[in-house]
Amino acid sequence: MLQKRVIVCLDVRDGKTTKGIRFKGNVDIGDPVEMAQTYYEQGVDELVFYDITASSEKRGIMIDVVERVAERIFIPFSVGGGIGSVRDMRAVLLAGAEKVSVNSQAVQNPGIIEEGASLFGSQCIVLGMDAKSDAEMPSGYRVFINGGRTPTALDALAWAREAERLGAGEIVLNSIDADGTRDGYELIVTRLLSQSVGVPVVASGGAGTPEHLVRVFTEGSADAALVASMVHYGDYSIAQIKDALQAADIPVRR
Partner 1 sequence: MIVGVVDYQAGNLRSVETALHHLGADFVVSCDPDALLRTDRLIFPGDGHAGAAMKVLESGGLGDAITTFFSAGKPVFGICLGCQIVLERSEETESPCLGIVAGGAKLFPFARDRETSAPATGERLKVPHMGWNAVHPVHSDPLFTGVPDGASFYFVHSYYTEPAAENVLCTTDYGIEFASGLRKRNLWAVQFHPEKSGEHGLRMLRNFLEVEL
With residue 213 as reference, give the H or E element that holds it.
helix 210-218
Cα dihedral sign for 141, 147, 151, 152?
Answer: negative
- Region of 28-36, 81-89, 118-126, 233-241 interacting with partner 1 (CB under 8 A): 118-126
Distance in angstroms (rounded) separating the CA atoms of residues 97 and 124: 9
- Region of 70-78, 106-114, 143-151, 204-212 interacting with partner 1 (CB under 8 A): 70-78
Which of 1, 23, 87, 136 touches partner 1 (CB under 8 A)? 1
Count the helices and strands in the chain (H runs, E runs).
10, 12
11 is a catalytic site residue: yes
Rg (alpha carbons) of the chain, rounded to whole number: 17
Do residues 168 and 126 touch, judged by C-beta distance below 8 A? Answer: yes
Task: Give the shortest CB-25-to-partner 1 separation in angstroms.
Answer: 35
Would you count residue 168 as binding partner 1 (CB under 8 A)?
A: no
State the Cα angle at 69 between 34 and 206, rounded to 5°.
70
Task: Give the shortest CB-189-to-partner 1 separation in angstroms.
Answer: 16
- Region of 89-97, 105-113, 135-143, 227-235 interacting with partner 1 (CB under 8 A): 89-97
Task: Give the residue with the Cβ less far from partner 1, 150 or 195.
Answer: 195
Catalytic residue among 45, 88, 130, 179: 130
Annotated catalytic residues are 11, 130
